[in-house]
Amino acid sequence: MPADALRPGPSGSPQRRPQGRPHARPNASRIPGSGTPPSGNTLLKPGQIPGLTGLRGLAALGVFLVHYNQIVRLDPFFGPFDLAYLLANGGYGVALFLVLSGFLLSLPYWQARQGGPPPPRTGAYLLKRMLRILPAYLAVLSVLILGSRHWLIPGAWADILLHLLFLFNLTEFSIFSLNPAFWTLALEMQLYLLVPPCGLLLLRVSQRLGVTLLVSFAILGYLGQLSLVQLVDTIIPWPLNPQLLWLRPGGAVLSHSVLAHLPHFMIGILAAPCYLKLQKRKGVHPGLISRSCDRYFWTASCLLALLLATPGLEPILTIPQGRYGLPLVPLLLAGVLITLPCSRYAAAIFEWKPLKLFGLLSYGFYLWHQPSLHYSDRLLSSFELDCLDQPGIFAVLSLSLALGAAGLSYLLVERPLLRCWKKRLQRRA
């Protein structure tokens, strides 16, 4: 019996304390909108960080609106704000994806550095990335190849092979061939390979040196992009087939390269320790930190909206050959990622169930949104309707098709594989 099981009663005689189960403290990670993740001894998972799943859904919706408006060409003005310009800049959702990926994938290494659980082994990390990306991607790729009979096009087999190897963003003839939105998947897969070496490096050097090296990588990536653009000054054919185009000056391969987007990914990695530090401070001053994070989040969000909706403003603040408003926009996005989970009201909004559900479906939605747009356009044409004259019907139809395909992808492909992965981890534990 514990020593404090007997306590003095009112008359001085011992009084037995009830021996029921002790009251369990609520798990903050399970309280919607609490903004508090598990303790530092628990490995953080994306679903346990409030707001980020909903934010991912918002980024996917932004990319959808870019390709939607490329077809319907809406261009209303509201004073100095241009809706067409804002919709065109919805592609900045890609920048958010890049910063978010660097942030989430590096968190286990930063946690391990601060005394948390060990990070995943490199083999397990790569296997999980492949299970997350490959099956749903291969399903869409197969539909596109079979539906368009792509193998009959000259040079198609090289194109298909490059898509299977996630190298199609390295040639002009294949970067936008099957699905223009796919180029980000090749980019992300290539950036994923950088996480284990960067993470292991962080575990072996001081935090200050690690941060310095990551900043240096970002700067070197930008300088490498500048050099690459200046180096390619003539059209270069594909070595295995001179009829196919490999590189050209000012081409998509140069502007959409890994080097061009490496700074965004590194900014995401650098944001992760800031988030962990802010979470520790929130444990000491919860009210103060929540209010400060809410203020920063909404201020940064308004600045981003102003930059992306005002023609001529964002290019002034972008460095030469910088992608997606580098450096200001990626830094603002990183601040949003850091402060959103620690806020009160912003986190509650992004934990709204419909938005969070959209975030869960965001990967499948991203894969299927452009085929859905093109199919909806053809479907309306078969009823002698023009999407330019019926932008509302076109939006509802294409959005519904993309969400339906994303839901099937999640239920039949993504979720079963993730469950198998969790069971495998549990058996190993």
User: pLDDT tens for residues 277-317?
Assistant: 999 999 899 999 999 999 999 999 999 988 888 888 878 88
Tokens of 308: 């992306």
- Residue found by looking up tokens 């180096």 in the block: 231
In a domain, 4, yes or no: no
Whether residue 139 is contained in a domain is answered as yes
Which comes out higher in pLDDT, residue 153 or 30? 153
Q: What is the mean pLDDT of residues 32-55?
A: 64
pLDDT above 90 for 42: no
Of the given ranges (69-78, 205-214, 260-269, 294-303), which has the lowest mean pLDDT? Answer: 69-78
Q: Which of 65-69, 87-91, 390-394 has the lowest mean pLDDT?
A: 87-91
> Which of 81-85, 149-153, 253-257, 352-356 shows the lowest mean pLDDT across its residues?
81-85
Domain count, the chain: 1
Share of residues in the chain with pLDDT > 70 (%):
88
* 30 located within any domain: no
Instruction: Please indicate, yes or no, if residue 29 is contained in any of the structural domains.
Output: no
Beta strands in 281-346 (DSSP E): none
- Domain annotation covers residue 2: no
Backbone angles phi, psi at 15, to 5 degrees: -120, 125
Residue 12 belongs to some domain of the structure: no
pLDDT for residue 20 = 45
Residue 199 lies in a domain: yes
Average pLDDT, the chain: 87
pLDDT reading at 250 higher than 70: yes
Does residue 13 fall inside a structural domain? no
* Structure-block tokens of residue 376: 């909806």
Length of the chain: 429
> Phi/psi class of residue 321: alpha, beta or left (left: φ > 0; alpha: ψ in -120 to 50)?
left
Helix ranges restricted to H, 17-121? 52-72, 83-88, 92-113
pLDDT-derived band at 4, boundaries 50, 70, 90: very low
- Please report the pLDDT score of residue 45 as a whole number: 65
Give per-residue pLDDT as tens, 229-238: 999 999 999 9
Mean pLDDT of 117-127: 91
Amino acid symbol at 99: V
CB of 358 within 8 A of CB of 365? Answer: yes
- 355: containing domain: 43-428
Query: 143-178 burial by CB neighbour count: b if 16+ within 10 A, else e?
Result: ebbeeeebeeeebbebbbebbeebebbbbbbbbebb
- Residues 325-350 have pLDDT tens digits of 999 999 999 999 999 999 999 999 99
Q: Where does the pLDDT of residue 365 fall: very low under 50, low under 70, confident under 90, or very high at 90 and above?
A: very high
User: pLDDT-derived band of residue 26, with 50, 70 and 90 as boundaries?
Assistant: very low
> Alpha-carbon distance 169 to 156, whole Å?
15
